[in-house]
Amino acid sequence: PSSLNLAVIPGDGIGPEVIAEAVKVLKATGVDATVTEYPFGATHYLATGSILDQSELDALAQHDAILLGAVGGDPQDPRLKGGIIERGLLLKLRFAFDHYVNLRPTRIYPSVTSPLSNPGEVDFVVVREGTEGPYVGNGGSIRTGTPHEIANEVSVNTAFGVERVVKFAFEQAEQRRGKVTFVHKTNVLTYAGGLWQRIVQAEAANHPSVDWDYLHVDAATIFLVTNPARFDVIVTDNLFGDILTDLAAAISGGIGLAASGNINPDGTFPSMFEPVHGSAPDIAGKQLADPTAAILSVALMLAQQGHPDAAARVSAAVEADLASRGDAKRSTAEVGDAIAAAVASAG
Ligand code: NAD
Ligand code: IPM
Ligand code: MN
């Protein structure tokens, strides 16, 4: 493949700290890449008044892929209220670049201590819908700020949008262990749940080699703790997927390990890779963040960009590093240095 034209948005809080290590590891692979940094995030907004305008969106669209650290500032800051950065930057990118698959893999590596005492062999992927559901901003309130306020946040589910992500999930299962678990709340969310249910059923008929089952989202949280090895591919809506993937990260040994890809499978727009975690203001600026999630996001990006060998080298180096982690606490940069060195020497 020709030179990888990568946009990097380090973002806020621990974002720049973990992204520095992720870029270090990318460089260690020897993959020919041009890295262009963009300053977007809460800090940039507070300094300039700008979040992400059309010309900046157009510039990002020219890249092959985007690597993002994390965005979002102090939730108590009145200037950032209402998730203005999350919606104006992160969700704007996911929606504008039609990232309808939010791919979030979970593995419990044999060497990692899970909070579960006996989790078994855990290796599943959550296919989280990325462009619809309650995330679309279809809401409003009246009598705002009064005791009679009424606030609505309407979940949007289209047949087109559900079909394409469900199809992707079944295709993933065909490449994996042949099992899809559809997660929703069809016992209460009758309309959206009914649409999802019918589409899953219809899509299943096109994939006879794939077994599928259904769990209500509340029960799914039970099984993620009591029997996570039962899962192969989970397909679910945007909000359920958000919640389940923080839980999945926690059982796998920590949010610092969880990588994700916001994928536009059609290739019309650049896909965007990012850790599942946020800007972690509580530990920012102290070199305490685990950069593993950001580094594994680079591996996902390399695989998606046609560099499977480099991706495998990064994954293997991470796995070896996890196996060698003792009680001694290393800095963010020390972890990145160790993984980058292992990647370079395997090259
Ligand atoms: P968070 O993921 O930032 O932090 C939750 C907890 O996990 C904190 O205790 C934090 O210290 C810890 N943690 C997170 N990443 C870690 C890492 N790499 N290593 C070690 N510990 C880590 O979630 P939050 O506190 O709910 O959100 C903080 C801000 O980040 C908010 O503004 C939120 O909107 C934003 N956010 C952004 C993204 C994103 O940019 N993709 C994702 C989630 C949250
Ligand atoms: C995530 C985050 C985002 C989400 C927020 C920051 C908008 O929690 O990537 O998981 O809810 O999708
Ligand atoms: Mn989340």
Alpha helices in 177-330 (DSSP H): 190-205, 217-226, 238-251, 292-304, 308-324
What pLDDT shows up at residue 1? 53
Q: Is 331 flagged in the annotation as binding?
A: no
Burial class (CB in 10 A: 0-12, 13-18, 19+), 234: buried
What pLDDT score does 133 carry?
98
Which atom of ligand 2 is nearest the CA belonging to 245? Answer: 10
Alpha carbons within 13 angstroms on the beta-carbon side of residue 125 total 23
336 lines ligand 1 (CB under 6 A): no
Written as one string, the DSSP assignment of 148-173 is T-EEEEPPB--HHHHHHHHHHHHHHH
Query: How would you classify the pairing of strands 179-184 and 233-236?
Result: parallel
* φ and ψ of 244, to 5 deg: -65, -30
Domain ranges for the chain, please list them.
1-100+258-347, 115-251
CA atoms within 13 A on the CB side of 53: 6
Q: Consecutive sets of 10 residues in the chain, 347 residues long: mean pLDDT of each?
A: 91 98 98 98 97 98 98 93 95 98 96 93 98 97 98 98 98 98 98 98 98 98 98 98 98 97 97 98 97 98 97 98 91 98 94
Alpha carbon of 3 to ligand 3 centroid (Å): 32
3-state SS class at 74: coil
User: Whose Cα sits closest to atom 34 in ligand 1?
Assistant: 72
Count CA atoms within 13 Å of residue 21 on its CB side.
30
Assigned superfamily of 1-100+258-347: Isopropylmalate Dehydrogenase (3.40.718.10)
Rg of the chain over all Cα atoms, to the nearest angstrom: 20
Q: Among all ligands shown, which has an atom nearest to the Cα of 102? A: 2
Write down the CATH number for the domain with range 115-251: 3.40.718.10
For 20, other C-beta atoms within 10 Å of its C-beta total 17
